[in-house]
Amino acid sequence: MTGVETLMTVDEFERLPDDEWRTELVRGRVVREPPATLDQGWLASRVSFVLTDFVNRHGLGETFLATGFVLFEEPPTVRAPHVAFVSRSRLPSREESVHFGRMAPDLAVEIVSPSSTATEILDRAVDYIDSGTPLVWVVEPSRRSVTVYHSRNEIRLLQEGDALDGYDVLPGFSVPVAELFARSTTG
């Protein structure tokens, strides 16, 4: 991914104006990505819908779209997963909610784009795991697979035919991978 880089702190980063790009702070470097591709955006929306439905029905917590989470204060790292889930007991107060999450999410979902480099995707996964995120889903539209990181020693590559489970993060959650990629309309 071609990114424009500037060094800054979490505070400076938080005061940046909004724009159409997904912007993250990676070890002090500001990294910007162009808006999502159709596949990416559709899948992010699909995953978010399935997750939010489950989370709401069971009152487990809240889901977030492209929201900043401060994974590390030093070196300053703010990641914005396409979809994230935070359990009820860890949700920030109303006053704190005007800022980025000062925490690792309980689930981070990344949708791979055709231009995402292997290094970039691994870097994200490692950042989430190191910050204590107990569940990471890396969704890969072209191969229709999902890589699930539960910890560094528990990684699985799911394909159509497998089911995506919520482990202890979303107890009882189970969605067939094929269903995740199934479009309701053809074309």
Partner 1 sequence: MSTRIETLMTLDEFERLPDDESRTELVRGRLVREPPTGMDHGRLASRVDRRIATFVEEHGLGEVFIAETGFVLFEDPPEESTRFGRMAPDLAVEVVSPSNTAVEILDKTADYLEAGTRLVWVVEPTRRCVTVYRSRNEIRLLREGDELEGYDVLPGFSLPVAEIFGPSTGAGGTSSEVSK
Least gap, CB of 159 to partner 1 (angstroms): 7
Please calculate the CA angle 84-1-67 and round it to the nearest 5 degrees. 20
Cβ atoms of 78 and 71 closer than 8 Å: yes
Q: Is 38 in the site for partner 1 (CB under 8 A)?
A: no
Choice from 5, 49, 156, 163 touching partner 1 (CB under 8 A): 156
User: In this complex, which beta carbon is closest to partner 1, that of residue 12 or of residue 123?
Assistant: 123
Q: Is 145 in the site for partner 1 (CB under 8 A)?
A: yes
User: In this complex, which beta carbon is closest to partner 1, that of residue 14 or of residue 162?
Assistant: 162
Least gap, CB of 94 to partner 1 (angstroms): 37
Q: What is d(CA 84, CA 110) in angstroms, rounded to the nearest whole number? A: 9
Backbone phi, then psi, for 97, in 5-degree steps?
Answer: -75, -10
DSSP 47-62: HHHHHHHHHHHHT-EE
Choice from 89, 153, 184, 185 touching partner 1 (CB under 8 A): 153
Q: What is d(CA 94, CA 167) in angstroms, rounded to the nearest whole number? A: 28
User: In this complex, which beta carbon is closest to partner 1, that of residue 71 or of residue 158?
Assistant: 158
Backbone phi, then psi, for 152, in 5-degree steps?
Answer: -65, -25
Cβ atoms of 7 and 28 closer than 8 Å: yes
In three-state secondary structure terms, 113 is coil
Least gap, CB of 69 to partner 1 (angstroms): 19
Chain positions 95 to 134 lying near partner 1, rule: CB under 8 A, are 112, 114-123, 125-126, 129
**Which residues are registered as beta bridge partners of 149?**
136, 155
Q: 62: which 2 tokens?
A: 């809240």
Q: Is 48 in the site for partner 1 (CB under 8 A)?
A: no
User: In this complex, which beta carbon is closest to partner 1, that of residue 55 or of residue 112?
Assistant: 112
User: In this complex, which beta carbon is closest to partner 1, that of residue 52 or of residue 116?
Assistant: 116
Give residues in contact with partner 1 (CB under 8 A): 112, 114-123, 125-126, 129, 138, 140, 142-143, 145, 147, 149, 152-153, 155-159
